[in-house]
Amino acid sequence: MTPLVSIVVPFHDEASGIDMFFAAVRPVMDARADVSWEVVCVDDGSRDDTLVRLIAQTRSDARVRVLELSRNFGKEAALTAGIDAARGQAVIPMDGDLQDPPSLLSPMLDAWRGGAEVVLARRSDRSRDSVARRHTAAWFYRLHNRLSKTQIPENVGDFRLMDRVVVDALRRLPERQRFMKGLFAWVGFRTVTLDYARPLRAVGRSRFSGVALWNFALEGFTGFSTAPLRIWTYVGAVFAALSLLYGGFILVHTILSGSRVPGYASLFVAVTFFGSVQLISIGLLGEYIGRIYMETKQRPIYLVRSTYTAQTPHASDPVLSR
């Protein structure tokens, strides 16, 4: 029997690009006689007619399945839902906006058939991104990999192929606050990397604002390293030493030259400097405590409202998923 390959695609308000996506994927996968394939689409609480168009795809192609989440849980949760539902011996997460080019699917499958357990798609050219985005991405990868023992490959997103053994290992990771790039890297396994030039988005626009990207990066730092807590201990020690030195300077200056407002300088330094340090350190501690708080709740990562296939085009019973 030919092995089954599952393509997992999260969708959120992307109705205008669905037909183009399937028109691009089908010829590439149909040309592979050595594998059978399915597409697992996850509707992550779309407000347009994304779900309607996805259901239409299931009616015209039995290889398409659709999971409708009960609300918008975010891309990481939607990606988890699709990977959990995938039945293939190989699983390929990708975006539906065609920035993950379907033409790379065949080289990925060749590498997998050659023995690779993970095939990464690495962007060789980010010239189409803004200067700010390129520099912040480079800063994130370098800083994360310095702070964490889990090394995230630079310029590699969610687009990759994973063997079933990798998927099974990934599904054993129970955390609710999920940073998928870090989880993908943490499980390891035999890896091959393919370079590609990322095309422009076929439809729509990115929903990741600067604030969202910052929060995403913070999730990566706090999810895979306790180094920020350790670093803050040294930062506190350095600031304490500097404060003592400056306090000594103020004391000597006051004895020698006097002060027009006695105590003002030292009080100002103490209140503003140490107050800001304490606020930053409390915020850092809060990030980690917040993660503990969310994990202890043990809430499911996502909820599936309905599942749609060619055999069951109407809503099935709601299913509680992990």
pLDDT in tens, 19-29: 899 999 999 99
- The single-letter DSSP state of residue 151 is P
The band of 260, judged by pLDDT with boundaries at 50, 70 and 90, is low
Judge if 13 and 117 occupy the same domain.
Answer: yes
3-state secondary structure of 67: strand
Distance CA 120, CA 160 (A): 5
Whether residues 32 and 122 fall in one domain:
yes
pLDDT at res. 245: 78
Q: Which helix (H) or strand (E) holds 108?
A: helix 105-113
Confidence (pTM): 0.69
pLDDT for the residue 161:
93
- 163 and 247 housed in the same domain: no
Domain encompassing residue 83: 4-206+301-320
Beta strands in 126-221 (DSSP E): 156-163, 191-197
User: Cα angle at 96 between 99 and 109, to 5 degrees?
Assistant: 75
pLDDT tens per residue, range 13-52: 888 888 899 999 999 999 888 889 999 999 988 888 888 8
Tokens of residue 11, six digits: 């969708």
Same domain for 286 and 305?
no
Which of 108-122, 143-157, 159-173, 263-277 shows the lowest per-residue confidence on average (mean pLDDT)?
263-277
Q: How far is CA 148 from CA 5, 64, 77, 223, 274, in A?
A: 32, 38, 23, 9, 28
Average pLDDT, the chain: 78
- 57 is written with which tokens? 């795809």
Q: Please state the length of the chain.
A: 322
- Residue 191 vs residue 216, higher pLDDT: 191
Which amino acid is it at 3? P
CA atoms lying within 13 Å on the CB side of residue 100: 25
For residue range 265-283, what is the model confidence (pLDDT) as tens digits? Answer: 667 666 766 676 676 777 6
CA distance 65 to 82: 10
Q: How far is the C-alpha of 307 from the C-alpha of 316, rounded, in Å?
A: 6
Shared domain check, 144 and 242: no
Residue 88 domain flag = yes
Count CA atoms closer than 13 A to 174's CA, side-chain side. Answer: 6
Total domains present in the chain: 2
The residue among 291 and 192 whose pLDDT is bigger is 192
Considering the domain architecture, whether residues 86 and 173 belong to the same structural domain is answered as: yes
Could you tell me if 152 and 262 lie in one domain?
Answer: no
**Rounded Cα gap, residues 170 and 164, in angstroms:** 10
- Residue 19 in any domain: the answer is yes
Indicate whether 9 pLDDT > 60: yes
Asked if residue 211 is part of any domain, the answer here is no
Q: Can you give the CATH number for the domain in which 49 is found?
A: 3.90.550.10
CA 137/CA 6 separation, integer angstroms: 29
Please check whether residues 175 and 290 belong to one and the same domain: no
